[in-house]
Amino acid sequence: MFAFIAKRARNAVLLLFLASVLCFALVVSAPGNVAILIAELRTPTATKADIAKVEEELGLNKPLLERYGFWLNGAIHGDFGISYKTGEAVGASLKSRLAVTATLVAGGAVVAFLLSLFVGFVGALWAHRAPDVVTRGSALLGASTPSFFVGALLVYAFSVTWHVFPTFGFAGPVSWVLPWLTLGFLPAAVLSRVVRVGFEEAMAKPYVLTAMSKGLSRTSILVRDAIPNIAPTYLNALGTQIGTMVVGAVVVEPLFAWQGIGDLFLTGVRFRDFMVVQACLLVFITFFIILNVVVDICITLTDPRLRLQRS
């Protein structure tokens, strides 16, 4: 098991390095010149000389390899450079915003987890009956509805019409509810189908017949026998969905005026703030890679066959 974890960790580091090269290449090849934007910020009618001065100051006229090496070395030591737009340390910006995004993704993940299990469980318990049809339809609708639309509907219902939750802000649990629901809704819909299909397959297995012959109820068979059997598949899907939630944060954070990493990334992209975009991409990629490793380990722990194979 230790060898498996070590191997996964080594692969993760290699992947991270390749990803850093890729994201640097993507960012520098994007159209638009950040020096023009900065010069404009400093002087409303910046001249070509002003723009050249900014390029010199920021080292934007240096060879790409040199720029990449300088950036990577800093990133390894926790120094992601200075934001071209604000002049603040990017590391400090990330740190101050990390809690916001972590709160959003964690809350969204809890919503997705609970809602998907509930909906999937209801569907399986009343398989091929009215509740199953309703939950299946809801899941299809949920999986086809983009987050920004879900958010708009929730805000309209709970904030504009009923005044239950605030429309924006990051000021305590009451203001967290709508962003959590918005972010967790789509993954919940997808995951509920994984649960429902997994239960259906599990309930067709011979051990279920044995359990039923012993007089166990359908509910207790689902909880005791089916859940452990669908756990590896479900964890795998959950990991993927949590990964996509980080991307979803880029949409949900501006919608609710949350100043998280998603919002920082979006602003960085719009402004060609290379330092911010690179750092955010690296954070996203690192999160994905760590998440994958954790999910792999969890799957191995929950599946005795894999545990045996990998040890």
**Which CB sits closer to other proteins, 131 or 254?**
254
Residue 48 Cβ, how far from other proteins at the closest point, in Å?
Answer: 6
In the complex, least distance from residue 25 CB atom to other proteins, rounded to whole angstroms? 18
Question: Which is nearer to other proteins, 192 or 278 (by Cβ)?
Answer: 278
Q: Which of 110, 283, 91 has its CA nearest to residue 191? A: 110
Q: What is the CA radius of gyration of the chain?
A: 24
Strand partners, 82: 89
Q: Which two tokens stand for residue 293?
A: 């490793």
Cα four-point dihedral sign 37, 278, 105, 184: positive
Torsion-angle region of 31 (φ positive above 0: left; ψ -120 to 50: alpha; else: beta): beta
- Minimum CB separation from other proteins for residue 7, in Å? 41
Contact residues for other proteins, defined by CB under 8 A: 31-34, 36-37, 39-40, 42-48, 50-51, 96-97, 152, 155-156, 159-160, 163, 166-170, 254-257, 259, 263, 266, 270-272
Give the integer Cα–Cα distance in Å for 267 and 260.
Answer: 11
Distance of CA 192 to the CA centre of its chain: 18
From CA 192, how far away is CA 17, in angstroms rounded?
35
CB of 254 to other proteins, least distance (A): 4
Q: Which long-range contacts (CB under 8 A, 24 or more apart) does 2-7 make?
A: 4/300, 4/310, 4/311, 5/293, 5/297
Smallest distance, other proteins to C-beta of residue 33, A? 5
- Choice between 128 and 163, CB closer to other proteins: 163
User: For residues 54 and 235, which CB has a smaller minimum distance to other proteins in the complex?
Assistant: 54
Rounded CA separation 223/216 (Å) = 11
Nearer to other proteins, 44 or 63 (CB): 44
- Among residues 109 and 155, whose Cβ is nearest to other proteins? 155
Query: Is 172 or 215 the residue whose CB approaches other proteins more closely?
Result: 172
Half-sphere exposure of 214 (CA within 13 A, CB side): 10
